[in-house]
Structure 1
Amino acid sequence: MRVTSGASDRLRTDRWLRLDGTTNTRDLGGLPTSDGGSTVPGRVLRSDNLQTLSEADVRRLVDEVRLREVVDLRTTAEVLLEGRGPLRAVPEVTHRHFTLLPERGHHTDVFAVEEDALPELPADWAESILPRQVTEGDQGEPPAVRSYLGYLAHRPENVIAALRALAAPADGATVVHCAAGKDRTGVVVAFALAVAGVPHEEIVADYALTAEVIDDLVAKLAASPTYAEDMVRRDVASHTPRAETMRRVLELLDERHGGPLGWLTEHGFGPEEQAALRARLRE
C-alpha cells in the first residue's frame, strides 16, 4: 500500500500530542487497517523520554488523556541515571520496565531500587546505554537494521512482555517509550500495529514521522548528561530514522517468519494474545 500525500498530511497534523517536556509523543489511533478500519485514538501512545514533563503535562496526560500505564523500554542504567520522572509520583499510573538491550547484572524490579544509591557502573556503560546492540549475523544489512534485529535476537522475551503490557485491559491510555521514542519504541510499535492489521507502508510512515521532530529531539537529549555525549558525537542525520530501515526490517520478518505475526507466534505470543492486542487497538 502506497502512502498518499493526504495520509502524510493527516499523520503530521492529527496525531501529535504537543507537550512541554517531550518532542516525539503521538497517538497510535487513526491509522488505516488493511480491512478498511482504523486504529482507535486514546488507547496507546508512543513517546520519547518522559523525565522532563512539566506539571501541566502531567495534569493533561492523567486528567485529559487518562494515561494509566507507562511501558519503559530503557536500560536499567538509563532509568537510574535519569532518576524518578514526575509520573512516578502519580498513584494512578503504573510503570513497567522491559529493556530491549542485554545488560550486566539483574534487577527484578528496576523501580524498586530507584531510591537507592546509584550502583557502580562498568567503565564502558555508555556503550550499552543506547540502542547499539546488533545481531551477529546479517553483516550485509545497514547498521540500524542490524540494531533492530538485535533487539529481537537478544531480548525477544521483553519485546513480547512489552506487547503483553499493551494488550492488557486498561481503564485509560498506555504510553510506550524509550529515550528518543524512535528505535526501541519503533520496533515494539511496529509489531503492535502489525497485529492491529495496519499495512506495512503505514507502519513505515509512522516510524519515519519522527524525522519531522529530529532537531528538537536531539537538542532535548543533548541537554541530559546521560545522552549528551552520544548526541554530539554523531550528527543529526545519523540519528534520523529512515523509512527504508523499517521497511527492510518488515521485509526480513516476512521472508524469515511469514511476517511480524509469525515471529510473535514463534516466540509465544500466539493467536489469543494477538487477538487481545488487536482488540485494544481496534474497536
Structure 2
Amino acid sequence: MSSTGREDLRTDRWLRLDGTTNTRDLGGLPTSDGGTTQPGRILRSDNLQTLSEDDVRWLIGDARLREVIDLRTTAEVLLEGRGPLRAVPEVTHRHFSLLPERGHHTDVFAVEEADVPELPQDWAESLLPRQVAESDEDEPPAVRSYLGYLAHRPDNVLGALRALTAVSDGASVVHCAAGKDRTGVVVMLSLAVAGVPHEEIVADYALTAEVIDALVAKLAASPTYAEDMERRDVALHTPRAETMDRLLALLDERHGGPLGWLTEHGFGPREQAALRARLRD
C-alpha cells in the first residue's frame, strides 16, 4: 500500500492500491431520479494477482471486501495462478468467463495447481477479448467485442450480475485483466439497473484512459499478457467514450435499452430491483 496513508487512498472514486492500477468504487454516481449510488458496495478493477499484503489487509478490513467476481477465461486464471485474495477465507470467489471456451471447468477455483490439466493450445490465442458477432462487422472492433460477450455468453453476464446481487453485506469487486472491456460491460449493465444515466455510464467507462499507460505496463510485466501488450500500441488499448456510447445506442435500438436486454434474457424486474437495491439502498 502506498505511503500516502489510508485516509488518502480514495481520490474521488479511485482506490489507490499498490497492486492494481484501475480500481474504483461504483459509489457516488448520480442517478436519473436525483439519487446517488452508494459507495462500498461494488468495486471494479483490473487483475488482482499482484495485490500487496497491505492491499489485502485494507480491502478486507477497511473496504470490507467479501466477494471477487472474475471475468477472465479459465486459461487466464490457470496461467496467472492463485492470487493473494484466494488465501482469505472471508472472500468468496466466483468465475464467469465472457468468452466462449473449450474444456471449461465448472468450478475453476476448485482446481489446484498440481491438478491443472494441459491447456489446449488454442486457449493461448484468445486470452484477451477478440470475438466478433457476425452481424456487427461494420461496428468498431471494441463495440463488436462487447456485443460478442452479450451474444455468446449471456449466461455468464447474468451470472455475474446475480452474484453481485446475492451479497448482502460488505463489498464485491468485479474484474478481468485490464478492468475495462469485460468488466466495463458488466458494470454498464449494473449501473443502468441502478438508474445511472447513459452519459455517466460512458464517463465511468472512459475513466480508465487516465491510467492506461500504467495499466499496459502492468499487464506487459506478466508473461500471460506481455506479447499482446507489446504487439499493439497503447492507443489501441485505450477505452474511448464513443465506444460505450455506441454500445448503449445499439442496446436502445435493439432491445429498448440495457434493461430490455436483461429482461429478454431472463433477468427481469424482480432481479433488477434486487441489483438496484445493492447499489442504491
1:103–1:128: 8 Å Cα contact kept in structure 2?
no
User: AA paired with 2:230?
Assistant: V
Aligned to 2:267: 269
Secondary structure (helix, strand or coil) at the match of 1:151 reads: helix
Aligned to 2:128: 130
1:71–1:175: 8 Å Cα contact kept in structure 2?
yes
Any residues of structure 2 matched to 1:167-186 within 5 Å, and which?
Answer: 167-186=165-184
Aligned to 2:39: 41
User: AA paired with 2:228?
Assistant: D
Aligned to 2:4: none
- The alpha carbon displacement at 1:108 in A equals 1.0
1:81–1:118: 8 Å Cα contact kept in structure 2?
no
Please list every run of 5 or more consecutive structure 2 residues that lacks an aligned counterpart in the other structure. Answer: 1-9
Secondary structure (helix, strand or coil) at the match of 2:120 reads: coil
1:100 to 98, 101, 123: 98
Task: For 1:218 and 1:176, locate their aligned partners in 2 and report how far apart those are by CA, in whole Å.
Answer: 19
Secondary structure (helix, strand or coil) at the match of 2:119 reads: coil
Any residues of structure 2 matched to 1:55-66 within 5 Å, and which?
Answer: 55-66=53-64
Any residues of structure 2 matched to 1:1-283 within 5 Å, and which?
Answer: 13-283=11-281
Aligned to 1:4: none
**Per-residue CA distance 1:171-192 (angstroms, 9 max, x = gap):** 1000000000000000000000
Task: For 1:272 and 1:116, locate their aligned partners in 2 and report how far apart those are by CA, in whole Å.
Answer: 42
1:73–1:98: 8 Å Cα contact kept in structure 2?
yes
Q: Which moved more, 1:148-157 or 1:134-143?
A: 134-143
Task: For 1:237 and 1:141, locate their aligned partners in 2 and report how far apart those are by CA, in whole Å.
Answer: 18
Secondary structure (helix, strand or coil) at the match of 1:116 reads: helix
User: AA paired with 2:44?
Assistant: R
Aligned to 2:5: none
User: AA paired with 2:258?
Assistant: P
User: AA paired with 2:209?
Assistant: A
- The alpha carbon displacement at 1:244 in A equals 0.4
Task: For 1:32 and 1:253, locate their aligned partners in 2 and report how far apart those are by CA, in whole Å.
Answer: 21
- The alpha carbon displacement at 1:120 in A equals 1.8
User: AA paired with 1:20?
Assistant: D
1:80–1:114: 8 Å Cα contact kept in structure 2?
no
Secondary structure (helix, strand or coil) at the match of 1:170 reads: coil
Task: For 2:11 and 2:17, locate their aligned partners in 1 and report how far apart those are by CA, in whole Å.
Answer: 15
1:29–1:42: 8 Å Cα contact kept in structure 2?
yes
Task: For 1:111 and 1:166, locate their aligned partners in 2 and report how far apart those are by CA, in whole Å.
Answer: 18
Please list every run of 5 or more consecutive structure 1 residues that lacks an aligned counterpart in the other structure. Answer: 1-11
Secondary structure (helix, strand or coil) at the match of 1:45 reads: strand
**Per-residue CA distance 1:206-263 (angstroms, 9 max, x = gap):** 0000000000000000000000000000010000000000000000000000000000
Q: RMSD in angstroms over aligned alpha carbons?
A: 1.0
Change (3 A) 1:58 1:13: closer
How many matched pairs?
A: 272
User: AA paired with 1:236?
Assistant: V
Aligned to 1:3: none
Secondary structure (helix, strand or coil) at the match of 1:191 reads: helix
Q: Which runs of 4+ in 1 moved over 3 A?
A: none
- The alpha carbon displacement at 1:72 in A equals 0.4
- The alpha carbon displacement at 1:202 in A equals 0.2
Percent identical pairs in the alignment equals 86
